[in-house]
Each structure stands twice: as C-alpha cells, then as structure tokens.
Amino acid sequence: MSRVHEREHPMEDLKNILAEHPFFSGLNEEYFALIVGCASNMRIDAGKIIHREGEEANHFYLIRSGKVTLQMMTPNKGPLIIETLTEGDILGWSWLVPPYTWHFDAKALDLTRMIALDGKCLRTKCENDHHLGYELLKRFADIMMKRLESTRLQLMDIYGDRP
C-alpha cells in the first residue's frame, strides 16, 4: 500500500476542514462529531494507486488537493481514464453498497492530499441509526446523480461525428 496516513494534523484541524466542505453542510452536531471520529488525513504521491478494482472498499475520500483519475484496465488499449477528480470532489461510494468492492482503479495523478473516512465503521453506525444513514445517502445520491448526468453526456458523444 502506498498510501500514508498522516498524523501531523490534530483532530481540531480535520474538524474544520470537514465542516467547511459542502458535502457535510447541514449535518447535526452529533453526527458530525461521529464523522470526524472516522476521519484521517492521507497523502498520496503522484503515480501511486489509491485502490484497485476488486479490492475491498472500506473508505471514501474527500480530496483536499491534487488530482485523482478513475480508470479501468482494458486488455488491448491499456488503462482508460473514466473521470478525473480534483480538489473538493468526493471519491468512492462502493463502501456504501454490498459487496463493498471497488469497481474502478483510482490513481493519484499528482501529489494528492485527502481526508479518508472509514466506511466500514460508518456502515455499522448507519445500520444502527437510519437517520444517519439517510443523511449520508442523500448526500451520496446527489453525487451519484451528478456523475450519472456527466456519464450520460459523455455517452452521447456530443462532439462526435454522429451525435
């Protein structure tokens, strides 16, 4: 594993970073504290893999800086880049849905700093507290909708010969 969990940031800093992110806006204090408890800082060097297709998906990430590519291996054309994610984007929702395995490779294109959130821990908490589960699902549904919309536009191949 090439990822390095950084310990230099005290918990207070992490809390501030998360609080400012739109993804968590409107979340109540109790749940927010719980999320902060599941968070840790990460630094990934350029060119390193964050996770690979088929691996167990136990985290999601909030990208603070850098650039991550979601890619898929093709047997004859090499890796195909599906999407790039940058500062402010959320990476990964496979931790939320069984069988909890990654569907794409994620690779740091540049030096990337992220906050990793422990999905395994959050899953259990969501099962026990459906209000928390709903709060998180709403937020992921929004991301999924946007990704689906972009994917549809990409699929239309609007710049192609026969759109």
Partner 1 sequence: MATDPELLSLKVDYKWNPMLPWPFQIRRVKHETEDTFTIELQPLGALEEFAYQPGQFNMLYVYGVGEIPISISGDPANPRVLVHTTRAVGTVTKAMDKMKRGDILGIRGPYGTPWPIDQANGSDVVFVAGGIGLAPLRPALYEVVAHRELYGKVVLLYGTRTPLDVLFRQELENWRARFDLEIYVTVDRAMTGWRGNVGVVTNLIPRAPFDPRNTMAFVCGPEIMMRFTAMELHKRGVDNEHIFVSMERNMKCAIGLCGHCQFGSVFVCKDGPVFRYSEIKEMLVKWEI
Partner 2 sequence: MVGIHLKTLIFERSELDHLVETLKRRDYKVIGPLLRGGAIVYDEITNTSSLPIGWTDERSNGKYRLKNRDDAVVFDWTVGPQSWKRFLFPPIQKIFATHKRPKGIDLPNTKKQPVQETVPAKYAFLGVRPCDLHAIAVQDKVFLGGPYRDPVYERKRSGNFIIAVNCRQAGGTCFCASMGTGPKATSGFDIALTEVLEGKRHYFIVEVGTELGGEVLKSLKCLKATDENLAALKEICEKTTQQMGRSLDTTNLKSILYQNSEHPRWESTASRCLTCANCTMVCPTCFCATIEDVTDLSGKQAERMRKWDSCFTLDFSYIHGGSVRASTKARYRQWVTHKLASWVDQFGTLGCVGCGRCITWCPVGIDITEEVRTIRENQS
Helices (H) then strands (E): counts for the chain: 4, 9
Identify residues 134-163 at the interface with partner 2 (CB under 8 A).
161-163
Per-residue binder mask for partner 1 (CB under 8 A), 117-156, x = binder: -----------------------------x--xx--xx-x
Nearer to partner 2, 152 or 162 (CB): 162
Residue 60 near residue 97, CB atoms below 8 Å: no
Instruction: Indicate whether 77 belongs to the interface with partner 2 (CB under 8 A).
Output: no
- Measured in degrees and rounded to the nearest 5, phi and psi for residue 28 equal -70, 160
Instruction: Indicate whether 71 belongs to the interface with partner 1 (CB under 8 A).
Output: yes
Whole-Å CA distances, 49 to 1, 67, 110, 133: 8, 12, 11, 29
Q: Which of 108, 109, 116, 122 binds partner 1 (CB under 8 A)?
A: 109
Nearest CA-CA partner of 134 in 19, 21, 28, 16: 28
Per-residue binder mask for partner 1 (CB under 8 A), 4-43, x = binder: ----------------------------------------
Instruction: Indicate whether 77 belongs to the interface with partner 1 (CB under 8 A).
Output: yes
Q: Which of 83, 100, 113, 118 binds partner 1 (CB under 8 A)?
A: 83
> Min. distance of Cβ 161 from partner 2 in angstroms?
8
Which single residue is written with the structure tokens 């691996």? 55
Whole-Å CA distances, 95 to 27, 103, 152: 20, 11, 23
User: What residues make contact with partner 2 under the rule CB under 8 A?
Assistant: 161-163
